[in-house]
Structure 1
Amino acid sequence: MSLSALGRKDVLYFFVHVQKTAGTSFLQRAVYSNFAPEEICSGVRIRTFRKALKPSHRFAHGHVAYGLHWLTRRPVVYLTFLRHPVDRAISHYYFIRQCDPRLCRHDRYEAATLMDLVTFYRQPQFRNEMTMMLAGIFWHKLQAYLAHPAFGQRALRQACFNLRHRFACFGLQERFEDSLQLFAHTLGWRMLPQDVRLKQTRARPKLEEVPFALYQELARLNDLDMVLYRYACRFFAERMRQRIPLTFTS
């Protein structure tokens, strides 16, 4: 797919929403100011995507890995946000624990309440979330069953390739305002000026407060995400310098 697809009337923008990467703030600042409510398909799930997607939908988002273009004939333009892996891991863990099960039943709530932070991320299915989601649906679904290092390295290569060639634009949580500028420049969107911060995780240690040993262990357990994030930071800096649209393929 080339950037010419952005001008097509049937194009569908899909936001790969990796949890705790400023996705909700991105929706508030960038998406709701450019798409009407009836044009947005929210909370996408793989099993129900085809039934939920309507011709009027121009934007969709959900905690779903790259690959929904296999389920529709419409051209799909992918977007996402990333975050420092250790910071994201801590925020995600504490966010799950703080979910009120009476109001919202997170599918990892039981695991997070029964395990400490490190034990939680020692479970293969909870590691390297950014890498597996950017690599694709296949990789994301199999990560709990294929723990061999060769699987992880292949997923990492695929995630890096997809980020560079198959995502129209991406942002970094740590450079949120710059990211919005990049989205505006690439897609021609207008951004809301106010600083909206939603769904912030309470009572969690800040990254700079994390003991070095704990930081090292979380980085080790999310080693693929660490490599992907460093790659993304270099690529983001390149994009900010050039201020030119990505060339991406399907």
Structure 2
Amino acid sequence: MYKDKVLIFVHIPKTAGSSLSGIIYTKYNPHEVFSVSNPALNIVSQINNNTKCVLGHNLFGQHQELGPRIYVTMLRDPIDRVISHYYYIKYILNDDSIGKYSLGEFAQLDGFPNMQTRFITGDKPDLEQAINNLKTFAFFGITEMFTESLFLIKKTMGWKDIHYVKNNVNPKKQKKETISTETIKQIEIANSLDIQLYQWAKENFENRLKNLDSTSKIELETWKESLK
């Protein structure tokens, strides 16, 4: 179904995208994969006819010139994603320009609010457009249901066995339960669109799982057991 289309991974920061990228990479020959590090760059002119997969922090709609293409992405609970993103920048990247801010301040900095919505719309804070765009994606998964997401993308893409390890796990990240109510409120206000988008996406994802046929449900449970 998607054999002759370029796969574009809309990798939203801190949504288990690095883990999924590693899996996607193994499904192509190295010369067929193009990786993007900065979503602000227009890299279409650098992509050749051999490219079958574009990985990295891509925004939706950046690759109109590539011809037939499909999009895949992962979405995460917005509060957890912002917390993870902040501590990743502060302790893993050691970025003092961001680390000098508190978590609540970080959540409100220009460019960071509603990041999931903006990646899905091509950098516009438009919830309706984000939902409409997601409906056209070949696949979107939920970070908190990563194993189930892998199963569904495997079925969607017709891939065989999948093996993975978690990447970019930050041991210094604080758990949501330890964050003050005031800070959580700041994050919620700054990411109101993302919260609504995530709620829609999670409900849609859960419905997909419920609607699996009995054989696929058994296959999913068996596969989950094999990963333990």
TM-score bracket for this pair, using the shorter chain length: 0.7 to 0.9
- Alignment of 1:97 onto 2:90: yes
Q: Following the alignment from structure 2 to structure 1, what is the Cα–Cα distance between the partners of residues 75 and 82?
A: 12
- Give the aligned length: 212
**Pairwise CA RMSD of aligned residues?**
1.9
Aligned counterpart for 1:122 among listed residues 93, 104, 108:
108
1:198 corresponding residue in structure 2: 167
The alpha-carbon distance between structure 1 residues 169 and 243, as it changes in their structure 2 partners (threshold 3 A), is farther
Please tell me whether the aligned partners of residues 25 and 197 of structure 1 are also in contact (alpha carbons under 8 angstroms): yes
TM-fit CA distance, 1:243: 3.8
The alpha-carbon distance between structure 1 residues 21 and 191, as it changes in their structure 2 partners (threshold 3 A), is farther
2:211 corresponding residue in structure 1: 242
Q: Following the alignment from structure 2 to structure 1, what is the Cα–Cα distance between the partners of residues 42 and 143?
A: 29
Q: Following the alignment from structure 2 to structure 1, what is the Cα–Cα distance between the partners of residues 161 and 182?
A: 40
Correspondence 1:149-188 to 2 at 5 A: 152=125, 155-164=126-135, 166-188=136-158
Q: Following the alignment from structure 1 to structure 2, what is the Cα–Cα distance between the partners of residues 209 and 46?
A: 34
Please tell me whether the aligned partners of residues 84 and 173 of structure 2 are also in contact (alpha carbons under 8 angstroms): yes
The alignment partner of 1:31 has SS state of: helix
Please tell me whether the aligned partners of residues 17 and 63 of structure 1 are also in contact (alpha carbons under 8 angstroms): yes
Q: What TM-score, normalized to structure 2? A: 0.85
Please tell me whether the aligned partners of residues 182 and 243 of structure 1 are also in contact (alpha carbons under 8 angstroms): no
Q: Following the alignment from structure 2 to structure 1, what is the Cα–Cα distance between the partners of residues 161 and 48?
A: 25
- Alignment of 1:131 onto 2:124: no
- Alignment of 1:216 onto 2:185: yes
Q: Following the alignment from structure 1 to structure 2, what is the Cα–Cα distance between the partners of residues 159 and 52?
A: 27
Unaligned segments of structure 1, at least 5 residues: 102-108, 140-151, 245-250
Q: Following the alignment from structure 2 to structure 1, what is the Cα–Cα distance between the partners of residues 182 and 139?
A: 34
1:75 corresponding residue in structure 2: 68
Q: Following the alignment from structure 1 to structure 2, what is the Cα–Cα distance between the partners of residues 12 and 115?
A: 39
Q: Following the alignment from structure 1 to structure 2, what is the Cα–Cα distance between the partners of residues 14 and 85?
A: 22
The alpha-carbon distance between structure 1 residues 191 and 26, as it changes in their structure 2 partners (threshold 3 A), is farther
Task: Percent identity, please.
Answer: 30
Please tell me whether the aligned partners of residues 62 and 122 of structure 2 are also in contact (alpha carbons under 8 angstroms): no
Q: Following the alignment from structure 2 to structure 1, what is the Cα–Cα distance between the partners of residues 179 and 100?
A: 21
- Alignment of 1:7 onto 2:3: yes
The alpha-carbon distance between structure 1 residues 236 and 39, as it changes in their structure 2 partners (threshold 3 A), is same
Q: Following the alignment from structure 1 to structure 2, what is the Cα–Cα distance between the partners of residues 46 and 125?
A: 12
TM-fit CA distance, 1:48: 4.2
2:35 corresponding residue in structure 1: 42
Q: Following the alignment from structure 2 to structure 1, what is the Cα–Cα distance between the partners of residues 80 and 161?
A: 26
Q: What TM-score, normalized to structure 1? A: 0.78
Please tell me whether the aligned partners of residues 38 and 56 of structure 1 are also in contact (alpha carbons under 8 angstroms): yes
Aligned counterpart for 1:61 among listed residues 55, 61, 69:
55
Please tell me whether the aligned partners of residues 104 and 184 of structure 2 are also in contact (alpha carbons under 8 angstroms): no
Unaligned segments of structure 2, at least 5 residues: 214-228
Q: Following the alignment from structure 1 to structure 2, what is the Cα–Cα distance between the partners of residues 191 and 91?
A: 29
Identify the structure with bigger relative contact order (alpha carbons < 8 Å, sequence gap 6+): 1
Q: Following the alignment from structure 1 to structure 2, what is the Cα–Cα distance between the partners of residues 191 and 15?
A: 20
